[in-house]
Amino acid sequence: MGAAMALAVWLGLSLWPSLWMLMLWMMAAALWAGARLFRVRRTLLPPVFWSDALVTMLILLGPAIEDSADGTGVLAASAVRVGLFVGVALYAWATVWLLERWRASTSEALFFHNG
């Protein structure tokens, strides 16, 4: 969701690139997510999801603005960043899963050894 919000802000900013428009588009995205964050608009997702989406939007939007100042390909660099986000998240999930399995097997072994 953060990537989609960053893309929406970026497309809105491409209409008229200025600091005022950046502030207005980011404020609109924050209000849209904030309504869901504070349960003004009910969703099935928890409020922490919307908070994380806002942080992800900021993390992805900052380097995109810097890439546009350098004249490099913004969409390609943003796609790489989103891919890295997904890759790191999957890596973290797999690591936690493996460590939880290892901890469960170790605690069972200690239980039978000490019991």
What does each of the 115 residues of the chain score in pLDDT, given as a tens digit?
A: 998 999 899 899 888 888 999 999 999 999 999 999 998 998 999 999 999 999 999 988 888 888 777 777 888 888 888 899 899 999 999 999 999 999 888 766 555 665 5
Distance, in Å, from the CA atom of 107 to the CA atom of 45, rounded to the nearest integer, reads 34
Residue 30 is which amino acid?
A
Domain range list for the chain: 2-114
Residue 74 burial (CB < 10 Å; 0-12/13-18/19+)? middle
Residue pair 54/3 in contact (Cβ under 8 Å)? The answer is: no
The three-state secondary structure class of 49 is helix
Query: Measured between alpha carbons, how far is 14 from 6 in angstroms, rounded to an integer?
Result: 12
pLDDT score at 52 = 93
| pTM of the shown model | 0.72
